[in-house]
Amino acid sequence: MNKLAIIAIGACAALAAQENLPPAASVLDRFVEATGGKAAYEKHRTQLAHGTLSLPAQGITGAMTLYAAEPSKTLMRVEIGAIGTMQTGVDDDIAWEVSPLQGPRVVDGAEKADTVREARFNAPIHWREQYSKIETQGIERVGDEDCIKVLMMPNDGGHPETAYFSRKSGLLVKQTGTRATAMGDIPYDNMFSDYRPVDGVLEPYKTTEKAAGQEIEVELSDMKYNADVPDSTFAPPPEIQALLKKAAPPAGSGSSPEAPVQSGTSNPK
Amino acid sequence: MKWRIPLVCCALALTAWPQTDDLRRSNLESFDYVWKTIRDKHWDPKLGGLDWNAVRDRMRPEMEKARTLEEARAILQRMLALLRVSHCAILPTEAALSVRGEGGPGTLGIDVRVIGGHALVTSIAGDSPAAHAGIETGWEVVKTGSAPIAPMIATIEKTYAGSTLRELMLTRAIDQRLHGDIGQQTTVMFVDGEDRKLERKLTFAQAPGTLTQFGYLPPMYVSIDAKRVRPDIGYFGLNVFLEPTRVMEAFTNAVQSCADCRGFIVDVRGNPGGIGAMAMGLAGWFVSKAGERLGTLYLRDSTLNFVIFPRAEPFAGPLAILVDGASASTSEIFAGGLQDLGRARIFGSRTAGAALPSVIEMLPNGDGFQYPIANYVSEGGKALEGRGVIPDTIAEPTRQALLRHQDTALDAAIDWIQHQAGK
């Protein structure tokens, strides 16, 4: 058999494999079904979870509490003994962070778009409104599972995301992409495992993220849907309110509330 | 819903059990861990041109022959030294478990710098053993116990001749000699202001500040000194960038209570660094323009900007930062970045030039392993590693000034602030 024939057979095999790939929409819809189905998701209005966030290689661990509610409200509180309490939150259109290291800040720009999109409650059933284009890209081995690789383009112009769904179970196993942060764009690689049923929906109890040379593990201990999470939980704290107030334009000026505040620093030289 | 995971960064550094099969195995595993980590995670994939495979081929057989844990550590240290960068160290289990490593947790309350080849007392903590014994600034420390200081100074000065690390290494070595177990007595020989040799018996006491531990860093005392050096000039001294909740709260109080002050001084002399992100948090009190950066951190696969997040009501007056050769890492990131932004004027002496952001992980043999994960370039485009921050006003201590209880760098900063009024 000559080389051309081998190449032709190889090309045909590849084409056959591509033809066998399921449409991306069916992969995402199957994920919704595999995790409980749209109706199960739609019964949920709030979420409360506890767990730990750790950097195992560095011996750093903290207690984590997560609150979430419709439509796009989150509050994540991580308490690390030697550092203090880190809080990140989204109150629909306001995203913020209070860090004992870097201080309080209002999240804006591309980072805000990413953060608000990720905060969408019951996100799996809303993928059609979050992504403008999705595309099945092939089959890849992740750990010991064959996964369907799906490229997803956010409709707000954010960085593309690549998700890997188990061919066998339909569950999300891995996700990679680039995250917009105030410190720059950071490539990330997330692994999801230990799926457990929570009020009719399967949730991954373990997430391992590799980003900026660090490996961070999030392990949940318990999670509950429709918990009593009052709306006031998501109100930005006073230091964020102060920043929002400062950035807000004078009445009638019409300028953007996100416009950067211009320098008032003195020249030391 | 997906979760955004907050990012955390950190930074810091040093003995024999008989070799057993288990220990031999764990030492080899540690060797492989260190070698592979540097290969895969060091910020410079070319490792400065070093043939890392050849290093392994040459040194792993040495590790196989190592008879003690101490020998194994020495091999790893030698391997890391080939990289010729800061923040590469093996932290022995014993050091990680004891406070302040070799010297012990007790202090005499003496801060010493080597000036003109002499170890001079540059400051004395209030209510410390040294203060109660009548020790004064400007006195020279010539002997601790039965060990003279001069040979140690000569050795370190020779080893670090021409290096920005010289003062940092001298300061650390003498500092260890001035620490011991709390309650333990030691004899220190001084030369006083009239060139007389005096011996003082001193008892090591609890260090000021609070004991804190972050990850695999050794436990350290965090000491804050917040005050007014003039009725209208605020001052904040910090010995290490750790314990952010307490430090940031104290810093916030210091700056806010000084909102109408003529100027503010931040003193990071002798501060070896700590958690890098705290530099951004402190800087947020002095910058009001959004998007300003202290510098940029270059990792192997990404770039992180050390962005400053302005506070709602930052301090707008003149800012002076005091540094010296023992100011390293986060101290350099803080001072160098604000200098490049034109927001602070720097007083003192050139910093250590040891500014590579690093992490510390646990090795299979139980030791800590610190390695740099990124190169750091300050906002003005200068890599701080090996260069350091060069003060705008060089103000180094002299024996005569110290004997007069003058703080040259602090005095220069106060004078500058007082002349900024109305400008």
> Is B5 contained in some domain?
no
Q: Are B228 and B264 in contact (CB under 8 A)?
A: no
- Check pLDDT > 60 for residue B406: yes
Please state, in angstroms and rounded to a whole number, the distance separating the CA atoms of residues A60 and B86: 23
Domain end: B95, B128, B153, which one?
B95
Query: Which parts of B304-407 fold into alpha helices (H)?
Result: 330-340, 399-403
Residue A19's pLDDT is: 54
Look at residue B7 and tell me if it is in a domain.
no
Tally Cβ neighbours within 10 Å of residue B280.
Answer: 28
**Chain B positions in Cβ-Cβ contact with residue A260 (cut-off 8 Å):** 289-291
* B4 in a structural domain: no
Residue B249 lies in a domain: yes
| Partners of residue A84 in chain B, C-beta under 8 Å | 244-245, 248
Q: Which tokens is B263 given?
A: 């100027």
Size of interface A-B (CB pairs under 8 A): 176
Among candidates A187, A212, A267 on the partner chain, residue whose Cβ is nearest the Cβ of B7: A212
Could you say which of B171, B206, B241 is where a domain stops? B206
ipTM field: 0.79
Residue B423 lies in a domain: no
Higher-pLDDT residue of B421, B124: B124
Where among B95, B122, B157 does a domain terminate?
B95
The sheet with strand B89-91 has its strands ordered as: B89-91, B368-372, B358-362
Q: What is the pLDDT of residues A52-98, one digit of tens each?
A: 999 887 888 999 999 999 999 999 999 998 889 999 999 999 999 99
Q: Give the minimum alpha-carbon distance from A228 to chain B in angstroms, rounded to a whole number.
A: 19
Q: Is residue B110 part of a domain?
A: yes
CA dist A58 and B359 (Å) reads 7
- Domain housing B227: 210-214+221-356+372-418
- Report pLDDT digits (tens) over A8-60: 444 434 443 455 799 999 999 999 999 999 999 999 999 999 999 998 878 88
- Tokens 């509050």 locate to A75
Q: Tell me, yes or no, whether B186 lies in a domain.
A: yes
Find out whether A168 and A147 touch, Cβ atoms under 8 Å.
no
Residue with tokens 């932004």: B341
User: Is there a single domain that holds both residue B226 and residue B321?
Assistant: yes
Q: Which of A88, A266, A269 to mutate to test the interface with B (most CBs of B within 10 A)?
A: A266
CB < 8 Å to B373, chain A: 213
Q: A21-227 in CATH: which number?
A: 2.50.20.10
Whether residue A246 and residue B312 make contact (CB cut-off 8 A), yes or no, is yes
pTM to 2 decimals?
Answer: 0.83
CA of A194 vs chain B CAs: smallest distance (Å): 16
Q: Which residues of A touch B275 (CB under 8 A)?
A: 83, 101
Same domain, B112 and B91: no
Beta-carbon-side half-sphere exposure of residue B308 (alpha carbons within 13 Å): 28
* A261 contacts on B by Cβ (under 8 Å): 288-290, 310
DSSP code of B217? S
Taking only the tens place, the pLDDT of each residue in A172-204 is: 999 999 999 988 999 999 999 999 999 999 999
Judge whether B78 lies within some domain: yes
Query: Nearest CB to A55: which of B2, B8, B317?
Result: B8
